[in-house]
Chain A
């Protein structure tokens, strides 16, 4: 349902994405791994209009996307959560559906309460984000993204900014989403998650896709030298 064809992206003279072609099918969980600077986050950001592209085409459900327009069918969860600090947890989750999907206040709140319960934070609904731990904030961020009923959610290193003991609560929520059939594209360093949950793993380095395959193939039987070198460093 997402098709990326020969995508090139440069920042000025710096080429960060080279000839990226990738397909993500509905219900798939695709994890993108790779060293810093490999372009993983940039690739994600090209998919929802946060970056424009230099060359190439992106199709969502067969239709080419307008790269500067935002698409509420594509949700995103950020490394630094980016919750709205001046709104309560409940307001954060209920806000966009009212303004963008034109839900009534009542419907949006009902939906928000259900989503907060799903991520285990119903009791925090009237708190402000600054009173929550990182893991809790990220779970609220996931609920906020889900409130827009997206067709696919992009996760940009969702647990990288969290203290280690808070990582698993977020990964649990993501596993539940995956099991429910959400299409997910996840940039992550959590190899355990990728192994367990991903349908496919994509290894990127220096702006290119070096190798992709099932978690088993990538982690147990990597073919490319660069993949092997990276995994060796990470999995030590």
Chain B
């Protein structure tokens, strides 16, 4: 028994750095970049929907509908394994990033849109009465207030995304989960290795949750009431 336990401990120690490295090289950057790009996309989509820009509205609604109605896993497969057959070949990391960005863009657009709509109608009316244009109202009055409302759900989405990056493994990105798989294939201790991977995810997410709390406190100082 002790021999086996000693072996497990050795495996865990040896695998920690490679897994952490994969996490820091792929998992976290992939999540951060996809999230930031996705936010830009989400923002554009939300603005189009809130301002009801007639020609673009149906397009963005279609996009949100498709992405929210299909599994992320299937989306990644289509992008990485499916596109080459019509001549678009992407490397694994790019494919993963595109998949995650589109996903974040769709879901977060609903969060941002809801946040903008949650700003009371009276704010629009007061801005209107002062002579501000719709764009000025959106930029200076509505969005600053919407940001404060949107931060908790967006932070949540980001933390979820960090975990969803594990799906990048199935399109051959050597991130944290894939690394755990590879080491398991070599050493045959799936329970301990996958738990170790889970632990590293937990570490990342806990740190992010703390950052979220700090941000929330900072941003909600001056909300109405």
By a beta-carbon cutoff of 8 Å, the part of chain A in contact with chain B is: 48-50, 70-72, 74-76, 78, 80, 82-86, 95-96, 99-101, 128-130, 141, 144-145, 148
Complex CA distance for A48 and B127, rounded to whole angstroms = 12
Q: Which of A82, A99, A100, A101 contacts B126 (CB under 8 A)?
A: A82
Q: Residues of A contacting B125 with CB < 8 Å?
A: 50, 76, 78, 82
Q: Indicate if the CB atoms of A71 and B222 lie closer than 8 Å.
A: no
User: Which of the residues B132, B136, B140, B222 comes within 8 Å of A85, measured between beta carbons?
Assistant: B222
Complex Cα spacing A84 to B140, Å: 10
- 30 pairs across A/B with beta carbons < 8 Å? A48-B129, A50-B128, A70-B128, A70-B131, A72-B131, A74-B129, A75-B129, A76-B125, A78-B122, A78-B125, A78-B126, A78-B129, A82-B123, A83-B126, A84-B126, A85-B222, A85-B223, A85-B224, A86-B148, A86-B222, A95-B140, A96-B131, A100-B132, A128-B222, A130-B222, A130-B224, A141-B126, A144-B130, A145-B129, A148-B130
- Docked CA distance A89–B59 (Å): 41
Q: Which of A48, A85, A96 has the most CB of B within 10 A?
A: A85
Given contacts A70-B131, A84-B123, A99-B136, 20 further A-B contacts (CB under 8 A): A48-B129, A50-B125, A50-B128, A70-B129, A70-B132, A75-B129, A76-B125, A76-B126, A76-B129, A78-B126, A78-B129, A82-B122, A82-B125, A84-B126, A84-B141, A85-B222, A86-B148, A86-B223, A130-B224, A144-B130
Contact flags B125-152 to A (C-beta < 8 A → 1, else 0): 1111111100010001100110010000
Is the pair A96, B132 in contact by a Cβ cutoff of 8 Å? yes
Nearest opposing residue in chain B for A97, CB measure: B130
Q: Within the complex, what minimum Cβ distance (angstroms) separates A230 from chain B?
A: 28
Please measure, in the bound complex, the distance between the C-alpha atom of A144 and the C-alpha atom of B148, giving whole angstroms: 24
Q: How far is the CA of A70 from the CA of B120 in the complex (A)?
A: 19
Contacts of B128 in A (CB 8 A): 48-50, 70
Q: How far is the CB of A103 from chain B (nearest CB, A)?
A: 12
Q: How far is the CA of A76 from the CA of B129 in the complex (A)?
A: 6
Given the complex of chains A and B, what is the CA–CA distance between A119 and B132 in angstroms?
23
Tell me if B4 is interfacial: C-beta within 8 Å of chain A: no
Chain B residues in the interface with A (C-beta under 8 A): 120, 122-123, 125-132, 136, 140-141, 144-145, 148, 222-225
**Distance, CA A195 to CA B126, complexed state (A):** 28
Question: Given the known A-B contacts A78-B125, A129-B224, are A100 and B131 also in contact in the complex, defined by CB atoms under 8 Å?
Answer: yes
Contact check, B136 vs A86: say whether CB atoms are below 8 A apart: no
- Chain A residues, CB < 8 A from B122: 78, 80, 82
User: Are B131 and A71 in touch, CB under 8 angstroms?
Assistant: yes
Query: What 5 A-B pairs have minimum CB-CB distances, sorted nearest first?
Result: A72-B131, A82-B126, A76-B129, A96-B130, A85-B224
Q: Are A148 and B123 in contact (CB under 8 A)?
A: no
| Cα–Cα, bound, A71→B129 (Å) | 7
Report B-chain residues with C-beta under 8 Å of the C-beta of A148: 130-131
Whole-angstrom distance from the CB of B143 to the nearest CB of chain A? 10
Say whether A86 contacts B144, CB under 8 Å.
yes
Contacts of A70 in B (CB 8 A): 128-129, 131-132
Of the candidates A50, A75, A82, A148, the one having the most CB atoms from chain B within 10 angstroms of its own CB is A82
User: Which of A48, A50, A96, A101 has the most chain B CB atoms inside 10 A of its CB?
Assistant: A96
Complex contacts, A99 vs chain B, CB 8 Å: 132, 136, 140
CB distance from A229 to the nearest CB of B (A): 32
B51 → A minimal CB distance (Å): 15
Cα distance, A74 to B126, chains bound together (Å)? 12
Is A50 in contact with B129, judged by CB distance below 8 angstroms? yes
Chain B residues near A71: list those with CB within 8 A.
131
Report the separation of the CA atoms of residues A100 and B137 in the bound assembly, to the nearest whole angstrom. Answer: 11
Residues of B within 8 A of A82 (CB): 120, 122-123, 125-126
Q: How far is the CA of A80 from the CA of B120 in the complex (A)?
A: 11
Quick one: closest A residue to B125, CB to CB?
Answer: A50
In the assembled complex, the CB of B32 is this many whole angstroms from the nearest CB of chain A, namely 27
Contact indicator B225/A130 (Cβ below 8 Å) = yes
Enumerate chain B residues within 8 angstroms of A144, measured Cβ to Cβ.
Answer: 130
Q: Specify which of B123, B130, B141 lies most central, judged by the most chain A CB atoms within 10 Å of its CB.
A: B130
